[in-house]
Amino acid sequence: MYAAAESGIYCPLCMTDGMAQLIDRHAWQSDRDRLLPHIYTNDPTQFYTGAMFLTEKSGGSDVGANEVQATHLYDDYYALNGEKWFCSNADAPLIVALARTRPDVSGTAGLSIFFDRAHPTRRQPKPNRSDTLER
């Protein structure tokens, strides 16, 4: 009922729920400690929503056809190059994105999921970023 009534809020809430589970199960402990309190909070001033940049023009239902490339920079940091096609909550402070770490491996096996470091004021430019949003 809620989804039918207000899809504009429902989508970001669903992605935030997915983000919470992703962080809870797979993030480093330091990131869990830092981020989960901002999801499991009743204080709207502290609340972070989540966003997922998965879909590309080449890969909607067939996410294994995705082409955005991940290039290793240093340690656990990668640069993602390419175009994502759809995001319901693009200004979210918490963002994950799918990108291809193994160009030689086709399908979903060559994809990895990346965490864009959390930024509570996403609208402010981050240093060393070159991403643009088309609305």
Ligand X SMILES: Cc1cc2nc3c(=O)[nH]c(=O)nc-3n(C[C@H](O)[C@H](O)[C@H](O)COP(=O)(O)OP(=O)(O)OC[C@H]3O[C@@H](n4cnc5c(N)ncnc54)[C@H](O)[C@@H]3O)c2cc1C
**Closest distance between ligand X and the C-beta of residue 99, in Å?**
12
Whichever of 29 and 110 has its CB closer to ligand X, that residue is 110
Distance between alpha carbon 95 and the CA centroid of its chain, in Å?
Answer: 3
Does 101 interact with ligand X (rule: CB under 6 A)? no
Q: Which of 73, 124, 11, 90 is nearest to 2 (CA)?
A: 11
Give Cβ neighbours of residue 67 (< 8 Å, ≥ 6 apart).
56, 58, 59, 82, 100
Whichever of 21 and 28 has its CB closer to ligand X, that residue is 21
Whichever of 10 and 78 has its CB closer to ligand X, that residue is 10
Q: Which of 120, 110, 96, 115 is nearest to 43 (CA)?
A: 120
Q: Show the binding pattern over residues 9-38: x = contacts ligand X (CB under 6 A), - = does not.
A: --x---x-----------------------
Q: Which of 89, 91, 72, 79 is nearest to 128 (CA)?
A: 79
Instruction: Name which of residues 46 to 75 contact ligand X (CB under 6 A).
Output: 52-55, 60-61
Residues near ligand X, by CB under 6 A: 11, 15, 52-55, 60-61, 86-88
